[in-house]
Amino acid sequence: MSTVKIELKPHQVEQIKQICKEFNNDPGELINVLHKVQHTFGYLPAEVQEVVASELNIPVAKVYGVVTFYSFFTMLPKGQYPISVCMGTACYVRGAEKVVEEFKNILKIKIGETTPDGKFSLSCLRCVGACGLAPVVMIGDKTYGRVAPESIKEILQEFQ
Amino acid sequence: MSTINITIDNKSVQVEKGTTILKAAQKVGIHIPTLCYMHLEDLNIEHKPAGCRICVVEVAGRRNLAPACATECTEGMVINTHSLRVLNARKTVMELILSDHPTDCLVCAKSGNCDLQAMAHQLGIRKIHYQGEQSTYREDTSPAIIRDMDKCIMCRRCETMCNDFQTVGVLSAVNRGFMAVVAPAFEQNLDHSPCTYCGQCVAVCPTGALTEVDHTNQLIRTLADPTKTVIVQTAPAVRAALGEEFGLPAGTLVTGKLVAALRQLGFDYVFDTDWAADLTIMEEGTELLDRLTRYLNGDKSVTLPILTSCCPAWVKFFEHQFPDLIDVPSTARSPQQMFGSIAKTYFAQMLGIDRKNLVVVSIMPCLAKKYECTRPEFSVDGNPDVDFSISTRELANLIKQSNIDFLSLPDEDFDDPLGESSGAGVIFGTTGGVIEAAVRTAYEIYSNKPLPRIDFHELRGLDGIRHATIDFNGLPLNIGIAHGLGNARKLLEEVRAGKSQYHAIEIMACPGGCIGGGGQPLHHGDSSIIKARQKAIYLEDSNKPIRKSHENPYIQKVYHEFLGKPMSEKAHHLLHTIYFDRSKKQFVVSHE
């Protein structure tokens, strides 16, 4: 997993410590802690994982192991508008792959990456529960149904 | 404890509740094959992730096959360990494992000593029916350990040793599915992690995924160089284990043959690290008494307990994990480094040669020793005190390569002046040995009386943490002993909390001490081998005419001719060291 190097500010370290404390610094709560920390920071860079590990008194290798195991966790900052393309069975058979390809072409990024201007990031997920609308794309909190590759340019323009 | 009755392969067995199918079968002589499973009984380590599925058996009434290593017996259970269904499943599982494994056995460092290879042979695998993409990963070379994850079968034994036994926490499974790999945090290389190079991961790895950095070829080239004088030192634990590589039963002492073999290999002088162990006792024992006396006289600047510092994995462990306590361990260098330091000064002067033309090689049961001799503080103008270190396993291979019939070698003696040692030097090879050696000398110096007894049985054994109180002529001296870094951590945390009751603590990183080191012949999960080696070490000690370090005439000589007295300025310069805070994060990020 590729990562970015950052330097945490003291108040950010405090924030992480506070979240760990909410879960009683219990190593068994690692996933919940990571959830909340990612919600706060948007992603989980190495430096953040170091703080979590030391607060929960577990090796940072274990934290990294969990972060890399679950696709929900990311070590890269998401864009201002995170794009998620559903690759569940229904969406897949109705051409989600072509939709992903089109996003990749237009934004010139790969899955898991963010555009250099920080605006869009691209990821895939499994079934958002709207199979009737397949193929489904989510951008931020907004959901788009029956997305055709040809319509993607137009959709993206809404966010310009 | 209640018992239950089961049937395995038509044999009735009565076992205690909670017994696994694997253990129950062993009771009646049925050895179900295992691969990822590991049980080091004497060390209380049982690893049963049920990950490889080689040990599956058929249980009547159960829909799927059960992993024998992790399934507990229940009343009336009927088990078949070699039905057609079981044998087919086992072979399929094995073929699937092999379908994602390089088949370069002929040139693999583990060949002939590989659990995976042996299991493929045992199961009669002749063809791998599954072909597909293989997972690949970059190779990682550190000063002591090579990681070749292409050969990893995800048994995760290394993780158990690194996390549960050693509590070093370097290795963890990362990523998932096909991409899963055992790696340090952020997939850095080992030399950017808090790895101690104890080598216990290597000692339990069933394949060639984790191996030592091999210096055999460097040694062969060095021995062939006519401009160099090449000398060798050999650690105490080597003589108690090397014989196993030549088919001798565990615990056979081969000291004399070892010396003869090293001489035949072409070393100019064959010396003994045990001599340097005696020297270590002079320095460490004196330091203990100095700290103790000052402490008893109310000197508040003195810290107790004193911790031994012979083990390089342990040293690196506290540098990473307990940087706030780096003034607690003894400043004495390890015997390997004391030997190198004296060899390249005192002995080089004796020969009248420049230190650059004297090559010091060490034979060690240890992989961390390979790292230790690369530490910059142990070199002078870029010339290391110990040039390189080879493991017991590497030595065995070299002896075989050199056409030496080890078993028919005569017993020979070490050379003087760095080859004579006391029994105290010998027991450095086992847990409890360093502190017993220290007690033998410190007692006599402290009390000015001869020891009433030489054997301190209360300091011996294989329990992870042991303690004893020794009567030091009216002063009760509290001694703690730990082997395994997880056990060491417990004692260290007491020290950190100011609750330690000990005056002195001995720590060794590996199970059983150096006899169970990461460079020793592989025990393949049989911890009774470590017990047998320990017995051999104490036997060697009791056979020695001199059993106290300070009575070693060649130790007396080096102080008389060269060092002055223990902890003299010269001794400080050559035989003591400093420690570093390595806790600072040093991760390198951003790679694909």
List pLDDT tens digits, range B400-417.
Answer: 999 999 999 999 999 999
Bigger pLDDT: B42 vs B258 = B258
List pLDDT tens digits, range B254-289.
Answer: 999 999 999 999 999 999 999 999 999 999 999 999
**CB–CB of B174 and A69 under 8 A?**
yes
pLDDT at B419: 96
The model's pTM is 0.91
pLDDT at B261: 98
How many Å apart are CA A160 and CA B58, to the nearest integer? Answer: 62
Put simply, whether A27 touches B (Cβ < 8 Å) is no
How many Å apart are CA B123 and CA B54, to the nearest integer? Answer: 10
Give chain A's count of helices (H) and strands (E): 7, 4
CB within 8 Å of chain B, chain A residues 54-73 = 58-65, 68-69
* Whole-angstrom Cα Rg for chain B: 25
pLDDT at B172: 97
Enumerate domains of chain B plus CATH numbers: 3-82 (3.10.20.740), 98-213 (3.30.70.20), 217-575 (3.40.50.1780)
pLDDT above 90 as % of chain B? 93
Residues 6+ apart with CB under 8 A from A156: A106, A107, A120
**CB–CB of A1 and B175 under 8 A?**
yes
ω into residue B521 within 30 of 0, thus cis? Answer: no
pLDDT at B397: 97
Best mean pLDDT range from B125-139, B292-306, B400-414:
B400-414
What positions of B carry a catalytic annotation? 284, 287, 310, 330, 369, 372, 377, 514
Q: Mean pLDDT check: name the lowest of A23-32, B35-44, B208-217, B483-492.
A: B35-44
Closest by CA to B356, choosing from B387, B396, B311, B401, is B387
3-state helix, strand, coil in chain A (%, to 5): 50, 10, 40
Inter-residue contact B504 to B476 (CB < 8 Å): no
pLDDT at A93: 95
pLDDT at B590: 38
Residues of chain A with C-beta less than 8 angstroms from the C-beta of B174: 61, 64-65, 68-69
List pLDDT tens digits, range B164-198.
Answer: 999 999 999 999 888 999 999 999 999 999 999 99
In residues, how long is chain B? 592
Average pLDDT over residues A24-44: 95
pLDDT tops 50 at residue B588? no
Closest by CA to B389, choosing from B427, B367, B362, B360, is B362
pLDDT at B472: 87
pLDDT tops 50 at residue B589? no
Option in A49, A58, A61 nearest B170 (CB): A61
Put simply, whether B185 touches A (Cβ < 8 Å) is yes
How many Å apart are CA B366 and CA B344, to the nearest integer? Answer: 22
How far, in Å, are B113, B200, B271, B337 from residue A59 at the CA level?
A: 31, 18, 41, 31
Which is it for strands B358-364 and B229-234: parallel, antiparallel or unpaired?
parallel
pLDDT tops 90 at residue A1? no
**CB–CB of B170 and A59 under 8 A?**
yes
How far, in Å, are A35, B272, B438, B463 from residue B432 at the CA level?
A: 47, 20, 10, 10
Closest by CA to B390, choosing from B227, B217, B226, is B217
Put simply, whether B592 touches A (Cβ < 8 Å) is yes
Q: What single-letter amino acid sits at B184?
A: P
Closest by CA to B445, choosing from B420, B426, B470, B473, is B473
**Whether domain A81-157 has CATH 2.40.30.170:** no
In residues, how long is chain A? 160
Bigger pLDDT: B384 vs B45 = B384
End-to-end CA separation in angstroms for chain B = 54
DSSP label of B510: S
Put simply, whether A157 touches B (Cβ < 8 Å) is no
Q: Is B164 exposed, middle or buried (0-12, 13-18, 19+ CB in 10 A)?
A: middle
Distance in Å, alpha carbon of B298 to nearest chain A alpha carbon? 36
pLDDT at B345: 97
How many Å apart are CA B275 and CA B339, to the nearest integer? Answer: 8
* Strands, E assignment, B422-464: none
Q: Is B330 exposed, middle or buried (0-12, 13-18, 19+ CB in 10 A)?
A: buried
Q: How confident is the model at residue B585 (pLDDT cuts 50, 70, 90)?
A: low
List pLDDT tens digits, range B80-106.
Answer: 999 999 999 999 999 999 999 999 999
Residues of chain B with C-beta less than 8 angstroms from the C-beta of A61: 169-172, 174, 183-185, 193
Please give the structure tokens belonging to residue B492.
């260290």
- Chain B CA closest to residue A57: B169
Q: How confident is the model at residue A160 (pLDDT cuts 50, 70, 90)?
A: confident
Put simply, whether A43 touches B (Cβ < 8 Å) is no
How many Å apart are CA B555 and CA B281, to the nearest integer? Answer: 10
DSSP label of A121: E
Interface predicted TM-score (ipTM)? 0.88
Bigger pLDDT: B43 vs B512 = B512
Residues of chain B with C-beta less than 8 angstroms from the C-beta of A62: 163, 169, 172
Residues 6+ apart with CB under 8 A from B475: B296, B446
List pLDDT tens digits, range A71-102.
Answer: 789 898 888 899 999 999 999 999 999 999 99
Q: How confident is the model at residue B300 (pLDDT cuts 50, 70, 90)?
A: confident
Option in B168, B171, B174 nearest A68 (CB): B174
Q: Please give the mean pLDDT across all residues of chain B.
A: 95
pLDDT at B592: 35
Closest by CA to B88, choosing from B118, B49, B129, B116, is B129
Please give the structure tokens belonging to residue A130.
């709207």
CB atoms within 10 A of CB B302: 15
Q: Please give the mean pLDDT across all residues of chain A.
A: 91
